[in-house]
Protein backbone atom coordinates (compact mmCIF):
# COMPACT_ATOMS: atom_id res chain seq x y z
CA UNK A 1 0.00 0.00 0.00
CA UNK A 2 1.16 3.46 -0.79
CA UNK A 3 0.86 6.13 1.84
CA UNK A 4 1.85 9.74 1.62
CA UNK A 5 3.79 10.05 4.84
CA UNK A 6 3.23 13.74 5.13
CA UNK A 7 2.17 15.97 7.95
CA UNK A 8 -1.54 15.40 7.43
CA UNK A 9 -1.04 11.70 7.48
CA UNK A 10 0.76 11.83 10.77
CA UNK A 11 -1.83 14.17 12.17
CA UNK A 12 -4.65 11.93 11.08
CA UNK A 13 -2.91 8.94 12.49
CA UNK A 14 -2.56 10.66 15.80
CA UNK A 15 -6.25 11.40 15.74
CA UNK A 16 -6.94 7.81 14.94
CA UNK A 17 -4.81 6.64 17.85
CA UNK A 18 -7.10 4.91 20.21
CA UNK A 19 -10.23 5.34 18.13
CA UNK A 20 -11.95 2.06 17.85
CA UNK A 21 -13.79 1.14 14.73
CA UNK A 22 -16.28 -1.67 14.66
CA UNK A 23 -19.56 -2.20 12.94
CA UNK A 24 -21.56 -2.41 16.12
CA UNK A 25 -20.92 0.55 18.40
CA UNK A 26 -22.91 3.08 16.48
CA UNK A 27 -23.04 6.76 15.84
CA UNK A 28 -20.07 8.15 17.74
CA UNK A 29 -17.83 5.89 15.76
CA UNK A 30 -19.56 6.60 12.46
CA UNK A 31 -19.09 10.27 13.15
CA UNK A 32 -15.42 9.62 13.92
CA UNK A 33 -15.04 7.85 10.60
CA UNK A 34 -16.72 10.68 8.71
CA UNK A 35 -14.44 13.24 10.34
CA UNK A 36 -11.44 11.12 9.52
CA UNK A 37 -12.46 10.62 5.91
CA UNK A 38 -12.93 14.37 5.55
CA UNK A 39 -9.57 15.10 7.12
CA UNK A 40 -7.78 12.65 4.91
CA UNK A 41 -9.68 13.62 1.82
CA UNK A 42 -8.68 17.20 2.33
CA UNK A 43 -5.15 16.49 3.42
CA UNK A 44 -3.69 13.95 1.11
CA UNK A 45 -5.42 12.83 -2.01
CA UNK A 46 -3.28 9.74 -2.53
CA UNK A 47 -3.55 8.29 0.93
CA UNK A 48 -5.65 5.17 1.20
CA UNK A 49 -5.74 5.15 4.95
CA UNK A 50 -9.52 5.37 5.18
CA UNK A 51 -9.83 1.88 3.79
CA UNK A 52 -6.86 0.51 5.65
CA UNK A 53 -8.88 -1.43 8.19
CA UNK A 54 -11.16 -2.79 5.49
CA UNK A 55 -8.20 -3.77 3.31
CA UNK A 56 -6.83 -5.81 6.16
CA UNK A 57 -10.09 -7.60 6.83
CA UNK A 58 -10.14 -10.27 4.08
CA UNK A 59 -6.57 -11.54 4.64
CA UNK A 60 -7.16 -11.38 8.39
CA UNK A 61 -10.26 -13.54 8.00
CA UNK A 62 -8.25 -16.23 6.27
CA UNK A 63 -5.63 -16.17 9.00
CA UNK A 64 -8.31 -16.25 11.70
CA UNK A 65 -10.03 -19.23 10.12
CA UNK A 66 -6.83 -21.15 9.70
CA UNK A 67 -5.66 -20.26 13.19
CA UNK A 68 -8.82 -21.43 14.91
CA UNK A 69 -9.15 -24.61 12.84
CA UNK A 70 -5.54 -25.58 13.48
CA UNK A 71 -5.64 -24.70 17.17
CA UNK A 72 -8.86 -26.62 17.64
CA UNK A 73 -7.56 -29.76 15.99
CA UNK A 74 -4.34 -29.56 18.03
CA UNK A 75 -6.46 -29.17 21.15
CA UNK A 76 -8.63 -32.17 20.30
CA UNK A 77 -5.55 -34.26 19.57
CA UNK A 78 -4.02 -33.26 22.90
CA UNK A 79 -7.22 -34.16 24.77
CA UNK A 80 -7.40 -37.52 22.99
CA UNK A 81 -3.82 -38.31 23.92
CA UNK A 82 -3.63 -37.07 27.48
CA UNK A 83 -7.13 -36.21 28.63
CA UNK A 84 -8.12 -32.63 29.46
CA UNK A 85 -5.60 -32.33 32.31
CA UNK A 86 -2.76 -33.59 30.12
CA UNK A 87 -3.85 -31.25 27.35
CA UNK A 88 -3.17 -28.22 29.51
CA UNK A 89 0.58 -28.70 29.43
CA UNK A 90 0.37 -29.34 25.67
CA UNK A 91 -1.73 -26.19 25.18
CA UNK A 92 0.85 -24.19 27.03
CA UNK A 93 3.30 -25.08 24.26
CA UNK A 94 0.96 -25.07 21.24
CA UNK A 95 -0.63 -21.69 21.70
CA UNK A 96 2.54 -19.54 21.67
CA UNK A 97 4.10 -21.70 18.95
CA UNK A 98 1.10 -21.15 16.67
CA UNK A 99 1.03 -17.47 17.44
CA UNK A 100 4.67 -17.26 16.33
CA UNK A 101 4.22 -19.41 13.23
CA UNK A 102 1.61 -17.13 11.77
CA UNK A 103 3.62 -13.97 12.19
CA UNK A 104 6.61 -15.73 10.64
CA UNK A 105 4.56 -16.81 7.60
CA UNK A 106 3.09 -13.42 6.80
CA UNK A 107 5.84 -10.79 6.63
CA UNK A 108 3.37 -7.93 7.03
CA UNK A 109 1.87 -9.48 10.14
CA UNK A 110 3.55 -8.24 13.29
CA UNK A 111 1.75 -10.49 15.70
CA UNK A 112 -1.13 -12.96 15.95
CA UNK A 113 -2.41 -13.65 19.41
CA UNK A 114 -5.49 -14.24 21.49
CA UNK A 115 -6.51 -11.69 24.06
CA UNK A 116 -9.06 -11.70 26.85
CA UNK A 117 -10.44 -9.64 29.70
CA UNK A 118 -9.93 -12.72 31.90
CA UNK A 119 -6.61 -14.22 30.95
CA UNK A 120 -5.21 -17.61 31.66
CA UNK A 121 -1.82 -16.57 30.32
CA UNK A 122 -1.39 -12.90 31.27
CA UNK A 123 2.19 -12.77 29.89
CA UNK A 124 1.07 -13.16 26.30
CA UNK A 125 -2.68 -12.48 26.24
CA UNK A 126 -3.18 -9.22 28.13
CA UNK A 127 -4.89 -6.71 25.83
CA UNK A 128 -3.50 -3.27 25.07
CA UNK A 129 -5.51 -0.27 26.31
CA UNK A 130 -7.28 0.06 22.95
CA UNK A 131 -7.90 -3.67 22.68
CA UNK A 132 -9.35 -3.68 26.16
CA UNK A 133 -11.84 -0.99 25.17
CA UNK A 134 -12.88 -3.05 22.18
CA UNK A 135 -13.22 -6.18 24.30
CA UNK A 136 -15.37 -4.35 26.83
CA UNK A 137 -17.77 -3.06 24.20
CA UNK A 138 -17.84 -6.44 22.45
CA UNK A 139 -18.57 -8.17 25.74
CA UNK A 140 -21.37 -5.74 26.47
CA UNK A 141 -22.89 -6.34 23.04
CA UNK A 142 -22.64 -10.10 23.56
CA UNK A 143 -24.30 -9.83 26.97
CA UNK A 144 -27.16 -7.93 25.32
CA UNK A 145 -27.46 -10.76 22.78
CA UNK A 146 -26.22 -8.56 19.95
CA UNK A 147 -23.94 -10.09 17.34
CA UNK A 148 -20.30 -9.09 17.70
CA UNK A 149 -18.71 -8.18 14.39
CA UNK A 150 -14.97 -8.10 13.72
CA UNK A 151 -13.43 -4.75 14.55
CA UNK A 152 -10.17 -2.94 14.01
CA UNK A 153 -7.89 -0.50 15.76
CA UNK A 154 -5.60 1.78 13.85
CA UNK A 155 -2.61 3.37 15.55
CA UNK A 156 0.40 5.04 14.03
CA UNK A 157 2.43 1.85 13.57
CA UNK A 158 -0.15 -0.84 13.11
CA UNK A 159 -3.66 -1.94 12.26
CA UNK A 160 -5.08 -4.58 14.55
CA UNK A 161 -8.00 -6.64 13.29
CA UNK A 162 -10.05 -8.32 15.99
CA UNK A 163 -12.26 -11.40 15.73
CA UNK A 164 -14.51 -12.30 18.64
CA UNK A 165 -13.99 -15.68 20.32
CA UNK A 166 -16.99 -17.34 21.94
CA UNK A 167 -17.31 -20.37 24.18
CA UNK A 168 -19.03 -22.12 21.29
CA UNK A 169 -18.18 -25.73 22.02
CA UNK A 170 -18.96 -27.70 25.20
CA UNK A 171 -15.33 -28.90 25.15
CA UNK A 172 -14.20 -25.37 26.13
CA UNK A 173 -15.96 -25.80 29.48
CA UNK A 174 -13.64 -28.66 30.44
CA UNK A 175 -10.97 -26.03 31.05
CA UNK A 176 -12.86 -22.71 31.19
CA UNK A 177 -16.15 -23.69 32.86
CA UNK A 178 -17.42 -23.32 36.41
CA UNK A 179 -14.70 -24.61 38.74
CA UNK A 180 -17.34 -26.57 40.68
CA UNK A 181 -18.06 -28.61 37.54
CA UNK A 182 -14.47 -29.09 36.43
CA UNK A 183 -12.41 -32.25 36.91
CA UNK A 184 -10.05 -32.19 39.89
CA UNK A 185 -7.05 -33.12 37.71
CA UNK A 186 -7.79 -30.22 35.41
CA UNK A 187 -7.93 -27.78 38.31
CA UNK A 188 -4.70 -29.18 39.72
CA UNK A 189 -2.96 -28.86 36.35
CA UNK A 190 -4.23 -25.30 35.97
CA UNK A 191 -2.97 -24.32 39.41
CA UNK A 192 0.43 -25.79 38.55
CA UNK A 193 0.80 -24.17 35.13
CA UNK A 194 -1.22 -20.98 35.53
CA UNK A 195 -1.15 -19.72 39.11
CA UNK A 196 -2.73 -16.43 37.95
CA UNK A 197 -5.53 -18.07 35.97
CA UNK A 198 -8.67 -15.96 35.61
CA UNK A 199 -10.17 -17.86 32.68
CA UNK A 200 -12.77 -20.03 34.41
CA UNK A 201 -16.43 -19.49 35.28
CA UNK A 202 -17.63 -19.27 31.67
CA UNK A 203 -20.95 -20.64 30.40
CA UNK A 204 -21.68 -22.03 26.97
CA UNK A 205 -22.24 -19.09 24.59
CA UNK A 206 -20.21 -16.56 26.62
CA UNK A 207 -17.91 -14.05 24.99
CA UNK A 208 -14.38 -15.24 25.77
CA UNK A 209 -12.03 -12.78 24.03
CA UNK A 210 -10.61 -12.10 20.61
CA UNK A 211 -8.08 -13.19 18.07
CA UNK A 212 -5.99 -10.10 17.35
CA UNK A 213 -4.05 -9.88 14.10
CA UNK A 214 -1.62 -6.98 13.95
CA UNK A 215 -0.49 -5.59 10.59
CA UNK A 216 2.37 -3.23 9.95
CA UNK A 217 1.08 0.06 8.53
C1 LIG B 1 -7.54 -28.71 27.65
C2 LIG B 1 -7.93 -27.46 28.27
C3 LIG B 1 -8.50 -26.37 27.39
C4 LIG B 1 -9.61 -26.43 26.60
C5 LIG B 1 -10.51 -27.63 26.35
C6 LIG B 1 -9.77 -25.11 26.04
N7 LIG B 1 -8.80 -24.28 26.49
FE8 LIG B 1 -8.63 -22.28 26.12
N9 LIG B 1 -6.87 -22.26 27.09
C10 LIG B 1 -6.29 -23.32 27.73
C11 LIG B 1 -4.95 -22.98 28.16
C12 LIG B 1 -3.97 -23.90 28.88
C13 LIG B 1 -4.74 -21.65 27.74
C14 LIG B 1 -3.47 -20.82 27.91
C15 LIG B 1 -2.54 -21.06 26.70
C16 LIG B 1 -1.24 -20.30 26.80
O17 LIG B 1 -0.52 -20.46 27.77
O18 LIG B 1 -0.95 -19.54 25.87
C19 LIG B 1 -5.97 -21.23 27.08
C20 LIG B 1 -6.14 -19.97 26.53
C21 LIG B 1 -7.26 -19.58 25.87
C22 LIG B 1 -7.44 -18.26 25.30
C23 LIG B 1 -6.41 -17.13 25.31
C24 LIG B 1 -6.61 -16.10 26.35
C25 LIG B 1 -6.09 -16.48 27.72
O26 LIG B 1 -6.94 -16.56 28.62
O27 LIG B 1 -4.89 -16.69 27.91
C28 LIG B 1 -8.67 -18.24 24.71
C29 LIG B 1 -9.31 -17.09 23.99
C30 LIG B 1 -9.24 -19.58 24.90
N31 LIG B 1 -8.36 -20.35 25.62
C32 LIG B 1 -10.47 -19.96 24.41
C33 LIG B 1 -10.90 -21.29 24.40
C34 LIG B 1 -12.08 -21.74 23.68
C35 LIG B 1 -13.03 -20.87 22.90
C36 LIG B 1 -12.16 -23.10 23.88
C37 LIG B 1 -13.15 -24.06 23.27
C38 LIG B 1 -13.06 -24.21 21.83
C39 LIG B 1 -11.02 -23.47 24.73
N40 LIG B 1 -10.30 -22.36 25.01
C41 LIG B 1 -10.78 -24.76 25.16
C42 LIG B 1 -6.88 -24.56 27.96
C43 LIG B 1 -7.98 -25.01 27.31
> What percent of the chain lies above the pLDDT cut of 70?
76
Residue 147 domain flag: yes
Residue 68 domain flag: yes
Is the CB of residue 49 less than 8 Å from the CB of residue 40? yes
Residue 79 domain flag: yes
Range of the domain at 73: 53-216
**Cα first-last separation, the chain:** 9
Residue 175 domain flag: yes
Residue 39 domain flag: no
Residue 124 domain flag: yes
Instruction: Report pLDDT for 100.
Output: 84
Total domains present in the chain: 1
Q: Which residues of the chain have pLDDT under 70?
A: 1-52
Tens digits of residue pLDDT in 33-66: 544 444 444 443 333 444 567 889 999 999 999 9
Instruction: Report pLDDT for 102.
Output: 84
Residue 118 domain flag: yes
Residue 185 domain flag: yes
Q: Which residues line ligand 1 (CB under 6 A)?
A: 72, 75, 79, 84, 87-88, 91-92, 95-96, 114, 116, 119-121, 124-125, 165, 167, 169, 171-172, 174-176, 199, 208-209
Residue 100 C-alpha to ligand 1 middle, in angstroms?
16
Amino acid sequence: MVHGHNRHWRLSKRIMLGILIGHGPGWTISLGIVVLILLLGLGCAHTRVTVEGQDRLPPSKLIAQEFSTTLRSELNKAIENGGPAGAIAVCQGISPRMEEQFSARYPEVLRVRRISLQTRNPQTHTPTVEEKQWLLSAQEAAQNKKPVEPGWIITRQKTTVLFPITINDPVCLLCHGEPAHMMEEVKTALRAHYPQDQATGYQFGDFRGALAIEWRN
